[in-house]
Chains A and B, each alone.
Chain A
Amino acid sequence: MNARAVLKTRMLGGDPPDSFQVHAGQELIGTWVVADRMEDLTGLYKSEGWLTKFPKGLIDLLSYKGGIWSVPVNIHRSNVLWYNPAKLREWGVTPPKTWDEFLATCATLKGKGIEAPLALGENWTQNHLWESVALGVLGADDWSALWTGKLKFNDPKAVKVWDTFGKVLDCANKDAAGLSWQQATDRVVQGQSAFNIMGDWAAGYMTTTLKLKPGEGFGWAPSPGTAGTFMMLSDSFGLPKGIKNRTEALNWLKVLGSREGQDAFNPLKGSIAARTDSDLSKYNAYLQSAAKDWKSNKIVGSLVHGAVAPESFGGQFGTVMEIYLNGKNSKAAANAAQAIANQAGIGR
């Protein structure tokens, strides 16, 4: 967050950095591209042959008004359900495939004395859960339609997302707001909770920090109702206008987009390459499975992590969540979300 404040100071002060890291998509487009501060990278994509190397769904998210505005370095997946395979066997349940199934499983587990079948953490992880619920309830097409303004946030379909979200919250721990996302993941690993919905950096945490083996110490599935859809977020670098070392900055972007660059960075970071031709032998079991989905699944963008929502919407989504949590009124939350969408100019 503070890095973003520094970035704003430097950009407004006429001293733009040669390149900077930003979530791919609207976080860059809605703030800096619309303000005419970035260079179009379509030429670079053509000369490097990237147009065929990155999936089309990704390039669509990076594009605005006929230009492509940043080079994605990595890909993380937002809609993943994590569990502890040994514990699920013990309880005799399987990872749910839809939200209805999830709620049924939740009731079963509660009957077995598990207080909170779903482990949840601080504020942003609640928003993160919301986007998985929304994707599951709406489906990929309607989710994307929300961000082009074709589907309103107060449409009955979108109001239903809040209804389901409320029921899902009833399955979660009551002390959520005091936990970091790692502490929420720990609850699943230790068997206090059955499920956790978190981006796939959780896999990196469980393999590297907790030394668990993917598939044995922890298991994963697409979050309920989202099989076949890959909700992505990505760190990317752009090219601001008016920089001093343009050639070097372009060379930097070339390295970032290259197969060698991506395969050197991502196994260490615990993410997959944005390119579809990466050398999978360098990645662990979880990442290989994610890379497989990345090539075959439908690609949509994350709200919380800046792919589909501009900062002006993302920054105020917390307010919408507040309105919901205070009154548990789906309609009020949906109306507030639409009001913020209007203000942020979504669909304009």
Chain B
Amino acid sequence: MKWTKNADNWVAALVMLPSVILIAIFVYYFIAKTGYTSLTDWGKDPSQALSAHPKIKFIGFENYKDLFTGLINGRFRQDLVSTFFFTLFFIAGCLSVGLGLAMFLDRSPKGEGLFRTIFLFPMSLSFIVTGTIWRWMLQPQGGVNQLPSLVGLPPGKFGWLTSREQVFQFDWNSLPLFTALVVAMVLLWVAFSAFRNGFRRRALTALASAGLLIAWAFTLGSSVQLLPFEEKHGFNLAFIGILIAAIWQMSGYTMALYLAGLRGIPEELREAARADGASEFQLYQRIIFPLLAPITLSAMIILGHISLKIFDLIFAMAGADNAPTDVPALLLYVTAFRSNQLATGAAIGTILLILVAFIIVPYLRSQLRSEVRR
């Protein structure tokens, strides 16, 4: 039977049409438009930036090149590094706190319902509210720094949001080297696991590419200079303040995910393991954590895309101008809407989109595939 003969299909198509059109325009058209804008010089000439009919020239990937290697875009590069570290610590923090809370609640302590509400409650606040409250508590002379004085110690002096200290510093010029080494590591791991599972050919290919990358890294790679000067980037300690607030807000949500997962593990499995003489530690290590792996993955994806796009929390906590806590989304705002550098702003936006896509697209693919199979 032909597709068009079926009335159901027609109705379905008709019902979906409005949202398809709206999404096509307001999501995909604008993504395309932003992508195109990022390849132009819109904003470079102030007299064209905001004129009624701006003359815009196509300049290719100039804006991207500038962002990664330009003299005045060090702030963007630091923001990328900051986002990387922030995402790493934010996910690690949320997962460990969330899992800890879930394991605590899973033992059905007294007043479980109350605790569950308390832990989940921060999630119902908006990031702006969270940010404002934590901003007050993290003031240099504010709440958190005064805590030690409760037990007679001198008040703390750490600038939670303003410290200029950096750790894990590296030179931006060695970034290609690091990237090559990390990719090589991954390839080696792929080779190793393929070898163990008996995929001889795949293992050899992976091994060869890894070897090639490492060879490149230590010969040509070390002479690649992105910048004509040394530029140190690292993890800004000022982000600790932001991390505390963000983890405080999102760990309750992670707890809810894990709790659902823990409750979904049948009691018989635990009983069986215990009957086999597994200790409590082994029970978690061998039975429960592996069963929670899909939940960890989902949580990582959800938290990951929140942290890559984070804007409102930092805006409320430190403002758009506090460089130690800057992230690409804030820089985009300042660049495009305050300095009128619209094309550069669009380029930053596109880079953010690509970063988020790296996380979301593989996830969606695997999800869709498994749904089709079902």
- Flag A17-47 by CB within 8 Å of B: 1 or 0 each: 0000000000000111011110000000000
Q: What does DSSP make chain B's interface, helix, strand, loop or mixed?
A: loop
From known contacts A177-B322, A178-B161, A312-B340, infer whether A31 and B50 are also in contact, taking CB-CB under 8 Å: yes
Within the complex, the shortest CB–CB distance from B172 to chain A, in Å, comes to: 12
Q: Check if B45 sits within 8 Å of A345, measured CB to CB.
A: yes
Q: Cα distance A332–B338 when bound, in Å?
A: 24
Q: Cα distance A34–B43 when bound, in Å?
A: 12
Chain B interface category by residue count: 35 or more
Within the complex, the shortest CB–CB distance from A53 to chain B, in Å, comes to: 31
Q: Check if B50 sits within 8 Å of A11, measured CB to CB.
A: yes
Q: Check if A322 sits within 8 Å of B161, measured CB to CB.
A: no
From known contacts A35-B48, A124-B321, infer whether A175 and B338 are also in contact, taking CB-CB under 8 Å: no
Q: Cα distance A210–B161 when bound, in Å?
A: 28
Q: Check if B335 sits within 8 Å of A315, measured CB to CB.
A: yes
Which B293-333 residues have a C-beta within 8 angstroms of A? Answer: 319, 321-324
Residues in chain B near residue A345, CB distance under 8 A: 45-46
Which A292-322 residues have a C-beta within 8 angstroms of B? Answer: 310-312, 314-316, 318-322
Q: Cα distance A241–B341 when bound, in Å?
A: 23
Q: Which of B69-77, B116-124, B254-262 contacts A (4 or more CB under 8 A)?
A: B69-77
Q: Check if A37 sits within 8 Å of B159, measured CB to CB.
A: no
Which B276-306 residues have a C-beta within 8 angstroms of A? Answer: none
- Flag B53-85 by CB within 8 Å of A: 1 or 0 each: 000000000000000000110110000000000
Q: Cα distance A177–B44 when bound, in Å?
A: 31
Partner of B52, one of A36, A124, A175, A321: A36
Q: Cα distance A340–B70 when bound, in Å?
A: 11
Q: Check if A322 sits within 8 Å of B322, measured CB to CB.
A: no
Which B89-119 residues have a C-beta within 8 angstroms of A? Answer: none
Residues in chain B near residue A3, CB distance under 8 A: none
A258 within 8 A of partner (CB): no
Taking CB as reference atom, which chain A residue is nearest B324?
A177
Q: Check if A325 sits within 8 Å of B164, measured CB to CB.
A: yes
Q: Cα distance A318–B319 when bound, in Å?
A: 13
Q: Cα distance A33–B322 when bound, in Å?
A: 30
A336 within 8 A of partner (CB): yes
Q: Check if A37 sits within 8 Å of B46, measured CB to CB.
A: no
From known contacts A175-B159, A178-B140, infer whether A37 and B50 are also in contact, taking CB-CB under 8 Å: yes
A335 within 8 A of partner (CB): yes
- Flag B31-47 by CB within 8 Å of A: 1 or 0 each: 00000000000011111
From known contacts A34-B47, A36-B52, A344-B46, infer whether A316 and B339 are also in contact, taking CB-CB under 8 Å: yes
Q: Cα distance A320–B159 when bound, in Å?
A: 22
Taking CB as reference atom, which chain B residue is nearest A317?
B339
From known contacts A123-B322, A322-B323, infer whether A177 and B162 are also in contact, taking CB-CB under 8 Å: yes
B249 within 8 A of partner (CB): no
Q: Check if B321 sits within 8 Å of A318, measured CB to CB.
A: yes
Within the complex, the shortest CB–CB distance from B67 to chain A, in Å, comes to: 12
Chain A interface category by residue count: 35 or more
Q: Check if A312 sits within 8 Å of B46, measured CB to CB.
A: yes
B51 within 8 A of partner (CB): yes
Q: Check if B47 sits within 8 Å of A177, measured CB to CB.
A: no
Q: Cα distance A325–B236 when bound, in Å?
A: 14
B216 within 8 A of partner (CB): no
Q: Check if B161 sits within 8 Å of A37, measured CB to CB.
A: no
Residues in chain B near residue A176, CB distance under 8 A: 162
Within the complex, the shortest CB–CB distance from B9 to chain A, in Å, comes to: 41
Residues in chain B near residue A319, CB distance under 8 A: 72, 74-75, 323
B139 within 8 A of partner (CB): yes
B246 within 8 A of partner (CB): no
Q: Check if A312 sits within 8 Å of B50, measured CB to CB.
A: no
Within the complex, the shortest CB–CB distance from B1 to chain A, in Å, comes to: 50
A246 within 8 A of partner (CB): no
Q: Check if A31 sits within 8 Å of B72, measured CB to CB.
A: no
Residues in chain B near residue A321, CB distance under 8 A: 323
Q: Cα distance A34–B45 when bound, in Å?
A: 10
Q: Check if B44 sits within 8 Å of A343, measured CB to CB.
A: yes
Within the complex, the shortest CB–CB distance from B321 to chain A, in Å, comes to: 5
Q: Cα distance A233–B157 when bound, in Å?
A: 36
- Flag B215-242 by CB within 8 Å of A: 1 or 0 each: 0000000000000010010000000000
Which A29-88 residues have a C-beta within 8 angstroms of B? Answer: 30-32, 34-37
Q: Cα distance A27–B44 when bound, in Å?
A: 16
B187 within 8 A of partner (CB): no
Q: Cα distance A329–B229 when bound, in Å?
A: 12
Residues in chain B near residue A5, CB distance under 8 A: 337
- Flag B134-145 by CB within 8 Å of A: 1 or 0 each: 000001110000
Q: Check if A34 sits within 8 Å of B46, measured CB to CB.
A: yes
Q: Cα distance A8–B339 when bound, in Å?
A: 12
Q: Cα distance A318–B335 when bound, in Å?
A: 11
From known contacts A322-B75, A323-B74, A339-B71, infer whether A31 and B340 are also in contact, taking CB-CB under 8 Å: yes
Taking CB as reference atom, which chain B residue is nearest A32?
B50
Taking CB as reference atom, which chain A residue is nearest B161?
A178
Most buried by B among A8, A176, A312: A312
Q: Check if B71 sits within 8 Å of A335, measured CB to CB.
A: yes
From known contacts A319-B75, A345-B46, infer whether A35 and B51 are also in contact, taking CB-CB under 8 Å: yes
B206 within 8 A of partner (CB): no
Q: Check if B46 sits within 8 Å of A315, measured CB to CB.
A: no
Q: Cα distance A345–B49 when bound, in Å?
A: 12
Which A232-280 residues have a C-beta within 8 angstroms of B? Answer: none
Taking CB as reference atom, which chain A residue is nearest B318?
A177
Q: Cα distance A343–B51 when bound, in Å?
A: 18
Q: Cα distance A177–B341 when bound, in Å?
A: 26
From known contacts A11-B50, A34-B46, infer whether A311 and B340 are also in contact, taking CB-CB under 8 Å: yes
Residues in chain B near residue A30, CB distance under 8 A: 46
Q: Cα distance A336–B73 when bound, in Å?
A: 9
Q: Check if A31 sits within 8 Å of B45, measured CB to CB.
A: no
Residues in chain A near residue B334, CB distance under 8 A: 315, 318
Residues in chain A near residue B49, CB distance under 8 A: 31, 35, 312
Within the complex, the shortest CB–CB distance from A291 to chain B, in Å, comes to: 32
Residues in chain A near residue B337, CB distance under 8 A: 5, 8
10 CB contacts below 8 A, A to B, read A8-B50, A30-B46, A31-B49, A36-B51, A123-B321, A314-B339, A315-B339, A320-B72, A325-B323, A335-B71
Q: Given A311-B339, A311-B340, A315-B335, list of 7 further CB < 8 A pairs?
A: A1-B338, A5-B337, A37-B51, A37-B52, A178-B162, A316-B341, A323-B72
Give the 9 A-B residue pairs with the shortest CB-CB distance, closest first.
A315-B339, A177-B162, A35-B51, A34-B47, A178-B140, A315-B338, A175-B140, A35-B50, A123-B321
